[in-house]
């Protein structure tokens, strides 16, 4: 079933998620995903918000849509679906664990897009239950961009058999040569939230983050991916990225960006070698080997 989305606001979904989450129980036997596909038609990219997003993430190529930006456009739809009554997992506490993005053709920022979001798979995870969410962007009926994201709902799995986890296997952690160091300010979450619309309380203030078990506000995972892509040579040529979110970045922070000699594998890490993000890219449309 397809539903046309008439509003892309995130705030209402965040409020609805806070209200409905206490009534949902992750790991419930027989849980099923909704069959709905939420669709937003005639999506036009506003130059101002796009410029703000590019600036906070470090993208500088003119007339180029950052690879990660359609995810920002489609995220309100994903939140609307995940906070719906028929979605089986509580959205409060849901952790973004990985993302794959494939750009089949580079859409121009002035193109009118159609966005479709749906839940594709629900699978056991060693730490709970993971759902795979899919976002597709079409232009003229053609899929020009798509992403798959894993979100983990953590709960006890005691007594359960070993889980065959959803999604592609996690990338191995191999220390890469450091090429840049970034000092991230304490208000980064608020600044990125203003540009992306994602004002999840865990990213905004120390006090609101503490309500969810974090000692300080944490950086958005999608900001870390975007910032790493922006640091690469000619980010507009990247057609595929796979990233795994391994540990939150507490703000403020000093982090190190590292990349391999071929410029395809990257990671973000901090003091004592703690790895926050690992990723790999391809520039020719072919998916790299895992």
Q: How far apart (Å, rounded) are the C-alpha atoms in residues 150 and 70? A: 17
With a CB cutoff of 8 Å and minimum separation 6, the contacts of 242 are 98, 99, 100, 101, 168, 171, 279, 280, 281, 287, 288
Tens digit of each residue's pLDDT (9 = 90 or more) over 46-64: 999 999 999 999 999 888 8
Statement: residue 162 has pLDDT above 70? no
The least confident of 2-6, 70-74, 76-80, 179-183 is 2-6
Element (H, E) at 123: strand 112-125
C-beta separation of 87 from 26 below 8 A: no
pLDDT score for 273: 80
pLDDT score for 17: 63
Q: 27: pLDDT confidence band, cut at 50, 70 and 90?
A: low
Looking at per-residue pLDDT, the higher value among 290 and 98 belongs to 98
Statement: residue 157 has pLDDT above 70? no
Statement: residue 279 has pLDDT above 80? yes
Tell me: cis bond preceding 213? Omega within 30 of 0 counts.
no
How much is the mean pLDDT over the chain? 86
Helix axes 69-82, 11-20, angle to 10 degrees: 40
Q: Which two tokens stand for residue 99?
A: 């993302």
pLDDT score for 288: 47
What does each C-alpha distance from 279 to 106, 147, 176, 264 come to in angstroms?
21, 15, 11, 8
Q: How far apart (Å, rounded) are the C-alpha atoms in residues 70 and 9? A: 15
Looking at per-residue pLDDT, the higher value among 22 and 217 belongs to 217
Angle 41-46-48 (CA atoms, 0-180°, nearest 5)? 160
Do the strands 2-4 and 37-44 form a parallel or antiparallel pair, or are they unpaired?
Answer: parallel
Statement: residue 161 has pLDDT above 80? no
Q: How far apart (Å, rounded) are the C-alpha atoms in residues 116 and 136? A: 5
Q: How far apart (Å, rounded) are the C-alpha atoms in residues 250 and 113? A: 35
Q: 4: pLDDT confidence band, cut at 50, 70 and 90?
A: very low
């Amino acid at each position: 079933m397809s539903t046309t989305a008439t509003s892309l606001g995130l705030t209402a979904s965040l409020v609805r998620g806070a209200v409905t989450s206490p009534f949902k129980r992750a790991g419930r036997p027989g849980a099923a995903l909704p069959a709905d596909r939420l669709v937003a038609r005639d999506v036009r990219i506003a130059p101002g918000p796009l410029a703000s997003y590019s600036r906070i993430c470090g993208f500088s190529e003119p007339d180029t849509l950052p690879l990660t930006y359609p995810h920002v456009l489609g995220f309100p739809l994903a939140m609307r679906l995940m906070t719906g009554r028929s979605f089986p997992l509580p959205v409060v506490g849901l952790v973004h664990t990985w993302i794959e993005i494939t750009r089949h053709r580079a859409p121009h920022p002035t193109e009118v897009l159609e966005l479709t979001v749906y839940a594709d798979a629900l699978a056991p995870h060693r730490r709970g239950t993971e759902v795979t969410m899919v976002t597709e962007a079409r232009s003229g009926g053609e899929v020009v961009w798509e992403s798959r994201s894993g979100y983990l709902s953590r709960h006890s799995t005691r007594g359960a058999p070993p889980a065959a986890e959803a999604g592609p296997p996690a990338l191995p952690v191999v220390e890469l040569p450091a090429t840049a160091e970034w000092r991230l300010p304490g208000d980064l979450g608020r600044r990125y939230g203003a540009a992306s619309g994602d004002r999840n309380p865990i990213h905004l203030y120390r006090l609101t983050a503490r309500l969810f078990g974090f000692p300080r506000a944490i950086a958005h995972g999608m900001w870390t991916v975007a910032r790493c892509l922006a640091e690469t040579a000619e980010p507009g040529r990247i057609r595929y990225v796979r990233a795994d979110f391994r540990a939150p970045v507490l703000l403020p922070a000093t982090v190190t960006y590292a990349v391999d000699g071929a410029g395809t594998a990257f990671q973000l890490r901090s003091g004592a070698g703690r790895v926050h993000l690992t990723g790999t890219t391809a520039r020719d449309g072919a998916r790299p080997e895992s």
